[in-house]
Chain A
């Protein structure tokens, strides 16, 4: 931006912004401005400046003395245009007389460009594993970077080929604990094939009050055969043989946590699995197991030496 000096005698004033306006701002964004008037020979208290868009005055701000400035406005907010376009505001110090001193008009052009608000997604509560062919539900939330309401906007789910497999409309209120994450639950069908699947949520962000850019997010889940056998995994501490509770047990994609007896029950189809056991403070451990029927598996965990967990 550039300052334009008032041409009228006796005093030529210069206008400037305390902080420049960014070259690009989101549509409808509230921009905080503070205008300083330089070159006055005395305090400009009681004077004012105008902000003009096109030929219209969209704001008037009074001048006060501030610090070393003979005249400056307090900070005030102006809303950027709601359409995506370049825009220019004119800051104008009209001809006026203050404390007996006549000042001519001064103007300052302030230009920027509006852009659509960005959006982003969250996908959660995705069950995994899911039995092949089963229905399951996920939760999808969308957020406008401008915290705009997104209620009623559509979210689609696409599979790994890009085909739409589900859709939902964002609800009325943001997800608890969030600022403006509008969400919906979407029911999907797991395909009739086994394996890890990577799908995506897509948000076109159309039909909103302000222009937005769409977004997408990936999520994954494991599609599995129906379980055939029940496996009991009992975790004990090595040497002590005491049960280790609240231990995460993973048998391939199947997961469970041990209870107070140190046992976790997992239903799985027959097959060969990597059995992994995790509890903080113990050595991570895993081994390969073959499941051909109901089974009980004993697993020993080794507690990490105190030296590795002591802090001081």
Chain B
């Protein structure tokens, strides 16, 4: 593992002892991947031996060493790591394709430690420096993290870098400037998967190579299978024994076929976090009610399936303050004109997933070209503020009078005119916008207000209110002073028909908290005890407020190694 001693996760029975070294150093690394494949053993890697497990009286349909729930960044890494150590591995994924949140991500990893690419760029880095940067107390993003987990991440950077290369990951380049908590440059982008036809996002360059490697290693991936339960020997005690799944359709609606899968060594939760579950996420921020859409839900729902199932058998949550730091991109302004309005990521209209997105959305390059109003037709803040201005979100999420819903702030609509469309060079027709409730056009401002009909718009937008807002804003253009919200020098009137209203409600980016884990990625319960045989990684795991793929990969790899080393 690391080159220095450090504390383990509090009260973890076995944390910090395995899972972070190179593959050659791993206990139980009896089977090298290449020799394993060459031997032809992959063909029998997954034993399918239905068996009755007396401990929890489940009749198992299938049986493997390690079950991984979720085929995103953390899950794929975990599966490969476990398989590399000789375990038979099965991944269940509820989408009809692999990739999870990572597929539509920017494809960047915070991975440094002084690797060869950093050295080539003259970046002086080390695990110590990475740890210091990402546990900085003066920054909210570092302030609330479990420093034992941060240390584990830092100590694993170099080994993970080499290991990911061996799994087929190709590096593009380090970001030009330090990012987020970096004082060094540790944000490294992967090369986009060249054959990816679903999305231009670079994240395919992480998950597709891993998918290829996983399949070559004989790891079976069951798609359209939603985990519904994690089994334990008794409800709140004993080892985790396996999972139940149910087949789902393309909208994740349950069908009837269920499967029980025994996991002889471990179950690894990698379900992508809770950003898409309003009930769950409002435990951390009660304002984040249902109108706020999780970015990239066209690819992955992120409904906290793993967290809920783990909590049902006693798991705790870890470092939940990371979710409410009001820092970074916990929530974003997003795109507009579509429901799932993540900021940078998009699908090709020809993608099999596009039926969920329904539109590409519009990106606002200059917020002088729009005003933003709440469901009541009234402006609420300076539209030009950057996406990380949390006072903007405080105003956007403030109550506007819905007597049935006191939390959340309702929809936000961007209102603009034909001149704004021309200045931004927007295409305001499908598939760029979704006219089914998320984009409207009209001949006049009052007519626009009347046309805004949306599931989250709890009352018709008052036409007179919207007209007054626009006329008042236009007067600010003449005076040069936004007397209401101090928008810097309002530049353009909203006057030329047609007029447009586009869904511009803030979008929820990622999960920064989840299941409490040890430094060995073992799930920890409410008493601080490890739940034997249960692991979590990625956005499902809490404790480390780092955005992106590297956190998932770090603890996915540790979980895979650790689970594979368990007795059957």
Could you tell me which A residues sit within 8 Å of B by CB distance? 118, 120-126, 128, 141, 143, 145, 174-175, 177-181, 196, 198, 215, 217-222, 248, 250, 252-253, 255, 274, 276, 278, 280, 284, 286, 304, 306-312
Contact = CB atoms under 8 A, between A and B. Distances in A.
Nearest to B342: A311
B177 A141 contact: no
B443 A143 contact: yes
A312 B489 contact: no
Contact of A307 (B179, B365, B491): B179
B282 interface: no
Nearest to B548: A312
A221 B478 contact: yes
Interface in B494-512: 495-499
A122 B443 contact: yes
19 contacts: A120-B443, A122-B445, A122-B495, A122-B499, A128-B478, A141-B444, A145-B447, A177-B498, A178-B497, A179-B443, A217-B471, A220-B474, A250-B491, A252-B480, A253-B478, A278-B488, A280-B368, A311-B329, A312-B106
Contacts of A123: 495
Interface string B46-74: 00000000000000000000000000000
Given A196-B478, A312-B329, 4 more contacts: A122-B495, A124-B496, A218-B471, A250-B480
Contacts of A217: 467, 471
B488 A141 contact: no
Contacts of B495: 122-126, 219
B436 interface: no
B108 interface: yes
B366 interface: yes
Nearest to A181: B443
A219 B480 contact: no
Nearest to B423: A246
A127 to B, nearest CB: 11
Interface string B157-172: 0000000000000000
B446 interface: yes
A253 B490 CA distance: 11
List the 3 closest A-B pairs by CB distance, nearest first. A284-B488, A312-B106, A276-B489
B388 interface: yes
Contacts of A128: 477-478
A309 B471 contact: no
A109 B418 CA distance: 46
A244 B365 CA distance: 16
Contacts of A143: 443-444, 447
Contacts of B499: 122
A121 B443 CA distance: 9
B387 A278 contact: no
Most interface-central of A122, A141, A307 (chain B CB within 10 A)? A122
Contacts of B446: 118, 120, 215
B234 interface: no
A33 B232 CA distance: 58
B479 interface: yes
A312 B547 CA distance: 9
Interface in B337-389: 343-345, 365-368, 384, 386-388
Contacts of A286: 488-489
